[in-house]
């Protein structure tokens, strides 16, 4: 039975929606604001969230952003009485899966909920490979073989690999193939939060322990009882927090900020990094004793350039996802020439870089067949060479402008994130924006890109 969380400050709407969901055969819970939703997600696994846009405290858009920072993959159906195109687009860009405007007809809501639940990735059962890890190459098969070996144990795992290779997917596979599969998988990006916020997020706090601590809060470590805690970008953690994490691993207990007595915890820790932790140890930025606690078993996820034979499978996977997400793109496909160029490129941003390029190309292709002229310039040049415009359409400059506009919109004006989506350096993107006289989200560019 799928379990659904309804988040809305309108009590009448919450109760009527839960009644409808239960009549459709789902389990349903409701909370009144974003903070309560975060707490509910720490204590219970949900298959779908129905989320209001405007609420006191943490509103719907802020909650989606918070879930993205934490690496929480729950599908979200945004439902709002303030339905504008701009709000719908913004919520979808932030990570919502769909958007409905109040009032919602019961049949419409029931059908949309059923559709979103059907799109969920199937959960891998013990003994079966993770369905999200795409590939048949020897490199990825070796990684999955190691996952199969370590998953049934209680061993702490350190996952290494470049940005965008899919380290969290590997961590989720370890969890799903483990005896803890029925417990929670909670992810925290250690590089996405300030130190004080990360400390409270991980360890929790007691009321009055600092300004703004108006009530007790359970941290993610406590919330992961019986499950798996995934620490992404663990190399970004401060030395002070490293010491506290080391104590959790050694003593199997956690002390909330401002508390005196520790609480025993039963968790498995899986950490990930794209940095050389040994180099950080030599530089005095990472504790050697913590490293050896985390790296009991190491899984290295290969970069995409070492498994180029998997690119056709990844491209088809991306196309299938886009078809499901955008119904009018049912004819979306990729030409052999374009696929050849995609296979030849090195993909410095790895799988994330490839998936972003496919979505950008699909936009330029209008949801039809992706051709060479729809691909990023650096991908086309892999086959053509920079001075060979064989596959470039006459309006190539306009297409690059459209691609850059798409990346800026998707990244909400962030040069760093837009450059990552486009697979180019931040300075290179800044120069192109200056040359094209474009702005980032309505703001004029600074004189320097840094």
Contact 302, 309 (CB under 8 A): no
What pLDDT is attached to residue 34? 84
What pLDDT is attached to residue 229? 93
Report d(CA 424, CA 56) in Å as an integer: 39
Angle between helices 396-410 and 350-364 (to 10 degrees): 120
Range with the poorest average pLDDT among 129-133, 165-169, 278-282 = 129-133
Binning pLDDT at 50, 70 and 90, where does residue 119 land? low
Report d(CA 414, CA 408) in Å as an integer: 7
87 pLDDT more than 50: yes
Binning pLDDT at 50, 70 and 90, where does residue 434 land? confident
Q: Give the residue carrying structure tokens 């994490």.
A: 245
* Dihedral sign computed on CA atoms, order 124, 26, 67, 258: negative
Report d(CA 211, CA 448) in Å as an integer: 37
134 pLDDT more than 50: yes
What pLDDT is attached to residue 444? 43
419 Cβ contact partners less than 8 Å away, ≥ 6 residues apart: 407, 425, 426, 428, 429
352 Cβ contact partners less than 8 Å away, ≥ 6 residues apart: 163, 164, 420
Binning pLDDT at 50, 70 and 90, where does residue 350 land? very high
Report d(CA 365, CA 373) in Å as an integer: 9
Report d(CA 217, CA 416) in Å as an integer: 33
Neighbours of 232 (CB within 10 A): 22
Binning pLDDT at 50, 70 and 90, where does residue 445 land? very low
Range with the poorest average pLDDT among 97-106, 194-203, 359-368 = 97-106
Return the DSSP state at 142: H
Give the mean model confidence (pLDDT) for residues 333-356: 91
Highest mean pLDDT among 109-118, 120-129, 266-275: 266-275
Average model confidence (pLDDT) across the chain? 81
* Dihedral sign computed on CA atoms, order 382, 387, 391, 394: positive
Name the pairing type of β-strands 263-264 and 253-254. antiparallel
What pLDDT is attached to residue 425? 67
Angle between helices 311-325 and 350-364 (to 10 degrees): 50
Helix (H, G, I), strand (E, B) or coil at 341: helix
Binning pLDDT at 50, 70 and 90, where does residue 332 land? very high
Report d(CA 88, CA 78) in Å as an integer: 8
Give the mean model confidence (pLDDT) for residues 17-45: 86
223 vs 120: which has the higher pLDDT:
223
Give the mean model confidence (pLDDT) for residues 341-365: 92
Report d(CA 266, CA 203) in Å as an integer: 14
pLDDT digits (tens, 9 = 90+) for 277-293: 999 999 999 999 999 99
What pLDDT is attached to residue 217? 78
DSSP codes, 120-135: SPPPPPTTS--TT---
Neighbours of 442 (CB within 10 A): 6
What pLDDT is attached to residue 239? 94
25 pLDDT more than 90: no
349 pLDDT more than 80: yes
Report d(CA 127, CA 392) in Å as an integer: 47
CA angle (176, 179, 182) in 5-degree steps: 60
Q: How is residue 450 written in tokens?
A: 């840094």
pLDDT digits (tens, 9 = 90+) for 178-219: 999 888 888 888 988 888 788 888 888 777 666 666 677 788
Q: Tally the C-alpha atoms within 13 A of residue 179's C-alpha that lie toward its C-beta.
A: 8
CA distances from 235 to 172, 190, 201 (A): 19, 8, 17
Q: How is residue 143 written in tokens?
A: 């990684």
CA angle (206, 210, 216) in 5-degree steps: 20
What pLDDT is attached to residue 60? 82
Binning pLDDT at 50, 70 and 90, where does residue 124 land? very low
450 pLDDT more than 60: no
pLDDT digits (tens, 9 = 90+) for 218-276: 888 888 889 999 999 999 999 999 999 999 999 999 888 877 888 899 999 999 999 99
DSSP codes, 31-86: ESSHHHHHHHHHHS--SEEEEES--SSS-HHHHHHHHHHTT----EEEEESS--HH
45 pLDDT more than 70: yes
CA dihedral in degrees (209, 214, 216, 219; nearest 10)? -80
Question: What domains are there in the chain, each with its CATH number?
Answer: 3-119 (3.40.50.2300), 138-302 (3.40.50.300), 305-436 (1.10.8.60)
Give the whole-number percent of the chain exceeding pLDDT 70.
Answer: 81
Give the mean model confidence (pLDDT) for residues 65-85: 71
Q: How is residue 326 written in tokens?
A: 């955008």
CA distances from 278 to 275, 290, 295 (A): 9, 11, 11
Q: Tally the C-alpha atoms within 13 A of residue 384's C-alpha that lie toward its C-beta.
A: 18
């Amino acid at each position: 039975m799928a379990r659904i969380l309804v988040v809305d400050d309108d009590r009448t709407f919450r109760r009527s929606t839960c009644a409808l969901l239960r009549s459709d055969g789902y389990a349903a819970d409701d909370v009144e604001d974003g903070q309560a939703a975060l707490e509910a997600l720490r204590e219970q696994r949900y298959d779908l969230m129905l989320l209001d846009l405007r609420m006191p405290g943490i509103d719907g858009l802020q909650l989606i952003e918070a879930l993205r920072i934490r690496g929480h993959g729950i599908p979200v159906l945004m439902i709002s009485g303030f339905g504008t195109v701009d709000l719908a687009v913004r919520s979808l860009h932030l990570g919502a899966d769909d958007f409905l405007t109040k009032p919602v007809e019961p049949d419409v809501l029931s059908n949309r909920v059923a559709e979103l639940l059907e799109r969920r990735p199937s959960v891998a059962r013990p003994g079966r490979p993770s369905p999200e890890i795409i590939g048949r190459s020897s490199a990825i098969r070796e990684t999955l073989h190691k996952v199969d070996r370590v998953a049934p144990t209680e061993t702490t795992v350190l996952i290494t690999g470049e940005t965008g290779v899919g380290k969290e997917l590997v961590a989720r596979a370890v969890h799903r193939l483990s005896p803890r599969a029925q417990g929670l998988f909670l992810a925290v990006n250690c590089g996405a939060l300030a130190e004080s916020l990360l400390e409270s997020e991980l360890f929790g706090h007691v009321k009055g322990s600092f300004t703004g601590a108006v009530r007790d809060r359970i941290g993610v470590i406590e919330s992961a009882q019986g499950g798996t805690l995934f620490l992404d970008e663990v190399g970004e953690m401060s030395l002070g927090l490293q010491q506290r994490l080391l104590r959790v691993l050694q003593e199997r207990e956690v002390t909330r900020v401002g508390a005196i007595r520790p609480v025993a915890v039963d968790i498995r820790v899986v950490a990930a990094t794209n940095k050389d932790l040994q180099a950080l140890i030599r530089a005095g930025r990472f504790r050697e004793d913590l490293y050896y606690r985390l790296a009991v078993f190491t899984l290295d996820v290969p970069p995409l350039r070492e498994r180029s034979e998997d690119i056709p499978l990844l491209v088809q996977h991306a196309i299938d996802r886009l078809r499901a997400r955008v119904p009018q793109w049912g004819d979306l496909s990729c030409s052999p020439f374009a696929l050849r160029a995609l296979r030849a490129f090195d993909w410095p941003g790895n799988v994330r870089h490839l998936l972003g390029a496919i979505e950008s190309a699909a936009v330029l292709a209008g949801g039809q067949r992706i051709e060479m002229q729809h691909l990023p310039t650096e991908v086309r040049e892999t086959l053509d060479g920079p001075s060979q415009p064989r596959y470039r359409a006459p309006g190539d400059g306009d297409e690059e402008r459209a691609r850059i506009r798409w990346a800026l919109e998707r990244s909400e004006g962030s040069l760093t994130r837009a450059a990552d989506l486009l697979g180019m350096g931040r300075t290179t993107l800044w120069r192109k924006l200056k040359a094209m006289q474009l702005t980032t989200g309505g703001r004029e560019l600074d004189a320097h890109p840094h």
